[in-house]
Amino acid sequence: MLPGGSAKGDAEFGLLSHQRRAFDRKLAVVDRHLAGRHFGRRRHARQHDFAVAVQRLGADRPTWTRAPEQGYGFADRDQKTPNGPQTRFLIGSNTKQFTAAAILLLQVQGKLKVTDLICTYIPQCPTAWGVITIKELLTHTSGIPDYLAQPDFVDYEGQPSTPLQIIAHFRDLPLDFAPGTTWAYSNSGYILLGYIIEQVSGMSYEAFLQKYIFTPLNLSDTGYDHNSNGVAIGYTNGYSATPAVPIDPSVPFAAGGLYSTVEDMNRWEQALTTDALLPAASRAEMFAPQYGTMAAGYGYGFVIGTDSGRPIIWHDGAISGFASIEARYPVDAVTVIILSNQYSAAVQTILEGISAKIFNAG
């Protein structure tokens, strides 16, 4: 018996230690899988450049294991700079979960409600947007067309733009459907959310996230991209050392403009399972299927569904030269984060391989 302990406490400690050792063994299998013939450090290093973090939380919510936090391939293929836990990657649409959290923080602060009409915060708001709510932007049910899918996107993707300049490219387009009647992924909605954050807070989107999310959570390697933040070099595929042509970071804005590391994303995931950032009621709102069902739905910045029968909360991201996926298995308290500086990286396949090893499906 431990000093000052109890038989029940000792039994629980022994069970947790056993579970931790068992999970560590599974993580060792994961690392061998990633380092082996499928996504090897040697044989396929130039074809697969990414970093991975896997964590499991105990009942009292400290991190059990954060290994493997490892890199595979290179952050810079010419210089042979290896990827690692502190390598910064653009995370594309995984930015959306930070934007959603910022909206919920403003709701907690009493500065807005997700049921508010968006025209309350948008000057010269189009008539067609008059019935759209903030919630419908969060859940991709607004009917506003995706600005990335418009033919003129290629004309300005490399140009510095303000949020209002981006909004001008889609504000006069007809709605794809009546707001709230169906679902269609739209980056435009998250551009508008970023603009609303700025209007309500009186701060830039970047400054708000820095003050209320990144600094309090010690996310020191997460921020808004300015093409000068020490981010890994992004590549289009696995066969060329020629960097991908970047889009100007102001263009993805609150829909896809952030960078992070697997280490910071681990911290972020831990915060989302505690009251460190948002109260329980806000987190429940964020992770509930606001559209669809628990089997196939969308919350606020997260996809809700199942993976081989296991509940999963996840999102992926893709932006010029980069791909990412973040997945949490809430019942199993397991999170997997994969960030890649290769646009064609098979992050979904890598996730499937890791989850199979962890859950003994392969």
Contacts of 332 (CB under 8 A, 6+ apart): 56, 310, 359
Q: Provide the domain count of the chain.
A: 2
Q: 41 with 118, same domain?
A: no
Contacts of 186 (CB under 8 A, 6+ apart): 140, 142, 144, 145, 146
Q: 171 with 268, same domain?
A: yes
Q: Are 293 and 305 in contact (CB under 8 A)?
A: no
Q: 217 with 299, same domain?
A: yes
What residue numbers bound the domain in which 35 lies? 17-47
Q: 24 with 170, same domain?
A: no
CATH of the domain at 158: 3.40.710.10
Rounded to whole angstroms, the Cα distance separating 65 from 135 reads 35
Supply the DSSP string of 16-53, one letter for each residue.
HHHHHHHHHHHHHHHHHHHHTTSS-SSTTTTT--EEEE
Q: 42 with 108, same domain?
A: no
Q: 150 with 21, same domain?
A: no
CB neighbours of residue 73 within 10 Å: 26
Rounded to whole angstroms, the Cα distance separating 353 from 36 reads 12
H or E segment to which residue 269 belongs? helix 262-271
Contacts of 68 (CB under 8 A, 6+ apart): 27, 30, 31, 34, 52, 53, 54
Q: Are 122 and 130 in contact (CB under 8 A)?
A: no
Residue finishing a domain among 262, 290, 306: 306
Q: Show pLDDT as tens, one digit a residue, over the chain (362 residues).
A: 222 333 333 333 333 344 455 555 655 656 666 655 344 443 444 456 888 888 886 544 434 344 445 788 899 999 999 999 999 999 999 999 999 999 999 999 999 999 999 999 999 999 999 999 999 999 999 999 999 999 999 999 999 999 999 999 999 999 999 999 999 999 999 999 999 999 999 999 999 999 999 999 999 999 999 988 899 999 998 888 899 999 999 999 999 999 999 999 999 999 999 999 999 999 999 999 999 998 899 999 999 999 989 999 999 999 999 999 999 999 999 999 999 999 999 999 999 988 988 887 55
Residue finishing a domain among 266, 287, 306: 306
Q: 152 with 209, same domain?
A: yes
Q: 37 with 132, same domain?
A: no
Q: 32 with 176, same domain?
A: no
Q: Are 168 and 159 in contact (CB under 8 A)?
A: no
Q: 39 with 125, same domain?
A: no
Identify any residues that bridge with 231 across adjacent strands, giving them in sequence order: 88
Q: 138 with 28, same domain?
A: no
| Domain assignment of residue 63, yes or no | no
Q: 157 with 22, same domain?
A: no
